[in-house]
Chain A
Amino acid sequence: MTETVQDTVSRVERGEAFLDVRDLKVHFPTDDGIVKSVDGLSFKLERGKTLGIVGESGSGKSVTSLSIMGLHQPGTADITGQVFLDGQDLISASREEVRLLRGKRMAMIFQDPLSAMHPFYTVGHQIIEAYRVHNKVSKQVARTHAIEMLDRVGIPQPDRRVDAYPHQFSGGMRQRAMIAMALSCDPDLLIADEPTTALDVTVQAQILDLIRDLQREFNSAVIIITHDLGVVAELADDIQVMYAGRAIEYGTAEGIFDRPQHPYTWGLLGSMPRIDRERSERLIPIKGTPPSLINVPEGCAFNPRCNYAHLNNGASETELPELLNIGDGHLVACHLSPEQRKQAWENDIKPNL
């Protein structure tokens, strides 16, 4: 059920993106207080485009994707805001409506394909199951489709491997099978949550290539969630950097890598190993640890770890910086003036990367 040209035209006329997340907040009430995992997140994504969401553990990346998919257990999370998928708001929709979209119009690939596939069912059974939820076809037809999908994601001898169990696959094969399962209903939106973290480096590259090829073929919108900047550099058109449940920088992949604006993004780039540097040179880690999401620091959440917070005359500790457009659609939430940022980037950061 892909959207027709007509639909797209009228949607774009309304000013809506294919995936349109507006002021998404996901709060978890706990005994210790409210965990603000996602706190006011907005972004847009069109079909055929890839958005990379990067950030440390606990920055709200996975929670965002689970909210879009409607995979939070009822009653555990307070979710507000809007998530429009092709004009339909998923947050206000009933659970049953969202369920019928899951797997069909939006699908997800998980981090660890071994634990994400049921150990007691064959790979084929799990793909057939995914296909038959949304398509009223016989088992035989679904099986043929499953074999086709396995073939498409590059699994050799798919007609035999279809009856194998997940534990009989290698890690890379499992992730391929997982992708085959996610793509079995030809979804418009594919969310890949750390799709390569559990894999060998050589296999990582193959999986990333596969995702890119399949995206072209299916023309779907893709969200890649990762803490690995190498992965987003490879795949993403746009990149959103998250910190403590908020977007702190958003831009094209080129913009983020060539002209990063936020000190946190500088920190991420600085802690990435590079092959073209001397081995004796040390990586520059971001000092400190990610903040507790129950007691997020006042003002800019990054201020206790920021090397430049003292330049803002106390604004960092008291005022929440807004996510502002600094031109070319590059957004940044930082109190530093553009001149200060430019100076710091050119003089302190860039030469040491």
Chain B
Amino acid sequence: MFAYLVRRVIGAVVLLFIVTAVVFSIFFLVPRIGGASADDLASRYVGKSAGAEQIHEVAVKLGFTDPIYVQYGRFVKGLFVGQDYNYGPATEKCPAPCFGYSFVTQQPVWPDLVDRIPVTLSLALGAAVIWLVAGVGTGVISALKRGSVVDRSFMSVALAGVSLPIFFTGLLSLSIFSYKLGWTAQGGTNPMDASNPLEWAYDLILPWTTLAFLYAAAYARLTRAGMLETMNEDYVRTARAKGLPERNVVVQHGLRSALTPILTIFGLDLGLLLGGAILTETTFSLPGIGQYAVISLRANDLPKVLGVTLVAAFFIVMANLVVDLLYAVVDPRVRIQ
């Protein structure tokens, strides 16, 4: 068990390094291969009025003329000990962990991310709780009442849920529940007052449910399919033969097995969401990682995009690591003896 844990953690760390290398290459190597010179890259960091000589000077100072591995090494070093950007007129400090320095806003990227991660975290985790409970719950009921009216209506709603995009359900629910009925907070509310949980939930309940609706639909279908399979397994028949109450048979024997594949998907989904729920955050104007990514992309602010990408990659790798470890807890056959 311990060896398994160590191997997975080492694997995750190695993977993160590969991810930083790949992401870094996409931003700094691929443009060069595509024909952009060091000066072209540097031109993004200076004013529009800058002359060619000035640009070249900045390119040298920012290190774009160095070999790519030197640049990467400097970037990785920045992540751990920080980095100074000397672009000529002045030197900008970027303390560790330095995910880059935005010359558009004249600020390091990391503090921005730190501000926004809690928003995305609140959104994703809250929604995850709702969609897990609702999705798995309806999936189980559907499977047990297969072919009934209940099953059919659940699955029709689920089909709608999977098919409708967030910007449709989100705007629709905002219009009804927030603007017409006034039950929930309006779009654009910054839900960062975690000192008051009720208010926090009030601010986020609409984004949560909207996002959860999309995922719950998929989870309901997955759970239903899984339950239909496991409830026909021999060991479920054995559980019944022991005289266990049906509820225990369903939950402890049927659902327990059906949850394993759902756990895998859940890890991927949650990791992806933690890296920014772009559509939801944009629809509800939540200042999270996803919205930050969109704004940075629009502003052509490469260091920010790089920072967001790395954070997103980090969450996905971590979520998968957690799933791998949980897998060993859930399924004893995975444990290496």
| Contacts from A to B (Cβ < 8 Å) | 69, 71, 99-104, 107-108, 110, 112, 115-120, 122, 129-130, 133-134, 165, 167, 178, 181-182
Among B237, B245, B256, B333, which residue has its beta carbon within 8 angstroms of that of A71? B237
A102 adjacent to B332 (CB under 8 Å): no
Q: How far is the CA of A118 from the CA of B257 in the complex (A)?
A: 9
CB <8 Å contact, A129 and B244: yes
Report A95 CB to chain B, min CB distance, Å.
8
Using CB atoms, name the residue of chain B closest to A127.
B242
The answer to whether A116 and B243 touch (CB under 8 A), given A165-B333, A167-B333, is no
The answer to whether B241 and A69 touch across the interface, beta carbons within 8 angstroms, is: yes
Q: Does A102 contact B241, Cβ atoms closer than 8 Å?
A: yes
Residues of B within 8 A of A (CB): 233-235, 237-246, 253, 256-257, 330-333
Interchain CB contact under 8 A, A118 and B242: no
A-B contact pairs, 26 of them (CB 8 A): A69-B241, A71-B237, A71-B240, A101-B243, A102-B240, A103-B243, A107-B242, A108-B241, A110-B234, A110-B237, A116-B235, A117-B235, A118-B235, A119-B257, A119-B332, A120-B256, A120-B257, A129-B242, A130-B242, A130-B243, A133-B242, A133-B243, A133-B245, A134-B243, A165-B332, A167-B332
Residues of chain A lying within 8 A (CB to CB) of residue B331:
119-120
A102/B234 in contact, CB under 8 A: no
Nearest neighbor of A122 in chain B, beta-carbon distance: B332
Q: Which residues of B contact A122 (CB under 8 A)?
A: 332
Contact B256 A102 (CB under 8 A): no
Q: Look across to chain A and name the residue whose beta carbon is closest to the beta carbon of B238.
A: A116
Distance in Å: Cβ of B39 to nearest Cβ of chain A: 61
| Min CB gap B260→A, angstroms | 8
Q: Is the interface of B mostly helix, strand, loop or mixed?
A: helix
> Considering the chains assembled together, what is the distance between the CA atoms of A122 and B331 in angstroms?
11
Complexed CA–CA distance, A270 and B239 (Å): 38
Partner of A118, one of B239, B240, B241, B246: B239
Partner pick for A133 among B235, B237, B244, B257, CB 8 A cutoff: B244
A102 to B244, CA, bound (A): 8
What chain A residues lie within 8 Å of B244 (beta carbons)? Answer: 103, 129, 133
Query: Chain A contacts of B246 at CB under 8 A?
Result: 99
Q: With the chains together, A181 CA to B234 CA distance in Å?
A: 15
> Contact: B241 with A107, CB < 8 Å?
yes
Task: Give the nearest-CB partner of A115 in chain B.
Answer: B234
- Give the distance to chain B from A178, nearest Cβ to Cβ, in Å: 8
Minimum distance in angstroms from B215 CB to a CB of chain A: 25
Q: Which of B234, B245, B257, B332 contacts A116 (CB 8 A)?
A: B234
Residue from A102, A119, A167 within 8 A of B243 (CB atoms): A102
- Alpha-carbon gap, A80 to B331, bound state (A): 41
Task: Contacts A99-B245, A116-B234 known; list 15 others, CB within 8 Å.
Answer: A99-B243, A102-B243, A103-B241, A117-B235, A118-B238, A118-B256, A119-B333, A129-B244, A133-B242, A133-B243, A133-B244, A165-B332, A167-B333, A178-B238, A181-B242
Contacts of A133 in B (CB 8 A): 242-245
**Is the Cβ of A102 less than 8 Å from the Cβ of B235?**
no
Output the nearest chain B residue to A101 by Cβ-Cβ distance.
B243
Min CB distance B234 to A, Å, is 4
Distance of A100 Cα from B242 Cα, bound (Å): 9
Question: With A and B bound together, what is the CA distance between A101 and B240 in angstroms?
Answer: 11
Q: How far is the CB of A92 from chain B (nearest CB, A)?
A: 19
A220 vs B257: C-alpha distance in the bound complex, in angstroms?
Answer: 34
| CB nearest to A66 among chain B residues | B237
Q: Across the interface, which residues of A come within 8 angstroms of B253, CB to CB?
A: 118
- Interface contact A112-B257, CB-CB below 8 Å: no
> In the docked arrangement, what's the CA distance between A134 and B332, Å?
27
Least CB separation from A131: chain B residue: B242
- Chain A nearest CB, measured from B261 CB (Å): 13
Question: In the complex, are the beta carbons of B235 and A115 less than 8 A apart?
Answer: yes
Question: What B residues does A119 contact at CB under 8 A?
Answer: 235, 257, 331-333
Which among B237, B243, B246, B253 has the greatest number of chain A C-beta atoms within 10 A?
B243
- State the CA gap A112–B245 with chains docked (Å): 23
Chain A residues closer than 8 Å to B239, beta-carbon distance:
118
For the complex, what is the distance from the CA of A117 to the CA of B237, rounded to whole Å? 9
The complex places the Cα of A112 from the Cα of B241 at a distance, in Å, of 15
Question: How many angstroms from the CA of A134 to the CA of B279 in the assembled complex?
Answer: 53
In the complex formed, the residue of B with least CB distance to A167 is B333
Q: Does the CB pair B333–A102 fall under 8 Å?
A: no
Q: Given the complex of chains A and B, what is the CA–CA distance between A107 and B244 in angstroms?
A: 12
Closest to B233 in A: A115
Contacts of B257 in A (CB 8 A): 118-120
Q: Output the least CB separation between A224 and chain B (Å).
A: 16
Query: B241: which A residues are within 8 A, CB to CB?
Result: 69, 71, 102-103, 107-108, 110, 182
By Cβ-Cβ distance, the 3 closest A-B pairs, closest first, are A103-B243, A102-B243, A115-B234
A6 and B30 CA atoms in complex are apart in Å by 91
